Amino acid sequence: MLPPTAPHPDDAPSRGLFLALEGGDGAGKSTQGRLLRDWFRERGREVVMTHEPGGSALGTQIRQLLLHGDHVAPRAEALLFAADRAHHVETVIRPALHRGDVVITDRYLDSSVAYQGAGRDLDADDEVRSLSLWAVQGLVPDLTIVLDISPELGRARRGAVHDRLEAEPDGFHARVRARFLALAAATPERYLVVDATEDPDQIHDQVVARLETLVGVTP
Ligand code: TYD
């Protein structure tokens, strides 16, 4: 287990709002991200929309290696996702939060716990989580929105196979799904789980209703 890391000095209570969208492939995260971005902008907030892997220039190169390259050993895969995240947080997310912006990221740390920890069956979920927490100096979202979808429906929705992870069998995606739900159940105050089969506008309404209960979010 990695040692705990000291909190980053930028993480003062007055920082912006950090939101993550998580869920299986084909769950509709980008649609919800756009609806949320527009909702905040209509209310005068600056919004940074970003994603993992690949939310920075270096990350774009790491993304290529991870998703479209040859076989990557599971531990190397976990380290590369963590490296992408470390750079993303340092160069994109923390500066935006420091300015007071809303940051919406399509995937974050829980994707590593679910895909590399549970999906790959490394039997090292806690270590994968510690690795990422070390990489980001403990920065976790104010709210993580999990768009819950079955592996079968996710596969049908995303259509043709796009990357190495999407190409994994349904059993892999079932473990990923179960882990997202378990993470949400463990700290419900930091999560909202929504049924990804619902209408996108209805899902957005649920997200907004939850956001309005978060400190610092004015409707
Ligand atoms: P992406 O094209 O962003 O997929 P999606 O539209 O489904 O979000 O590809 C990201 C893929 O990488 C996706 O299959 C999940 C996987 N992934 C991990 O395995 N671990 C991680 O830490 C992250 C961020 C993504």
Number of structural domains (the chain) is 1
Q: For residues 185-198, b (16+ Cβ closer than 10 Å) or e, as one string?
A: eeeeeebbbbebee
Arithmetic mean of pLDDT, 65-75: 91
Q: Contact, 114 vs 157, CB < 8 A?
A: no
User: Residue 219 falls within a domain, yes or no?
Assistant: no
Closest CA to 25 of 119, 90, 103, 122: 119
Arithmetic mean of pLDDT, 191-209: 97
Residue with CA at minimum distance from ligand 1 atom 11 = 165
pLDDT score recorded for residue 12: 60
Q: Contact, 25 vs 165, CB < 8 A?
A: yes
The pLDDT tens digits for 91-136 are: 999 999 999 999 999 999 999 999 999 988 777 888 999 999 999 9
Atom of ligand 1 nearest to the CA of 26: 7
- Containing 85, the helix (H) or strand (E) segment is helix 74-88
Q: What tokens were used for 52? A: 């993992």
User: Residue 139 falls within a domain, yes or no?
Assistant: yes
Query: Which residue range forms the structural domain that includes residue 199?
Result: 17-211
Rg (CA), the chain: 16
pLDDT score recorded for residue 208: 96
81 lines ligand 1 (CB under 6 A): yes
Q: Tell me, what amino acid is at 88?
A: H
Q: How far is CA 42 from CA 13, 14, 217, 218, 219, in A?
A: 24, 22, 13, 12, 10
Burial class (CB in 10 A: 0-12, 13-18, 19+), 140: middle
Q: Contact, 125 vs 179, CB < 8 A?
A: yes
What is this structure's pTM?
A: 0.93
Q: Torsion over CA of 114, 116, 119 and 122, rounded to 10 degrees?
A: -120
111 lines ligand 1 (CB under 6 A): yes
53 lines ligand 1 (CB under 6 A): yes
User: Which of 6-20, 161-175, 190-204 shows the lowest mean pLDDT across its residues?
Assistant: 6-20
User: Residue 112 falls within a domain, yes or no?
Assistant: yes
Q: How confident is the model at residue 1 (pLDDT cuts 50, 70, 90)?
A: low
Q: What tokens were used for 198? A: 């619902």
Q: What is the CATH number of the domain that holds 93?
A: 3.40.50.300
How close is the Cα of 218 to the center of ligand 1, in Å? 31
Calpha distance 137→155 (Å, rounded): 34
User: Residue 1 falls within a domain, yes or no?
Assistant: no
Q: How confident is the model at residue 164 (pLDDT cuts 50, 70, 90)?
A: confident
- 26 or 62, which is more confident? 62
User: Residue 142 falls within a domain, yes or no?
Assistant: yes
- Containing 19, the helix (H) or strand (E) segment is strand 17-23
User: Residue 163 falls within a domain, yes or no?
Assistant: yes
User: Residue 217 falls within a domain, yes or no?
Assistant: no
User: Residue 3 falls within a domain, yes or no?
Assistant: no
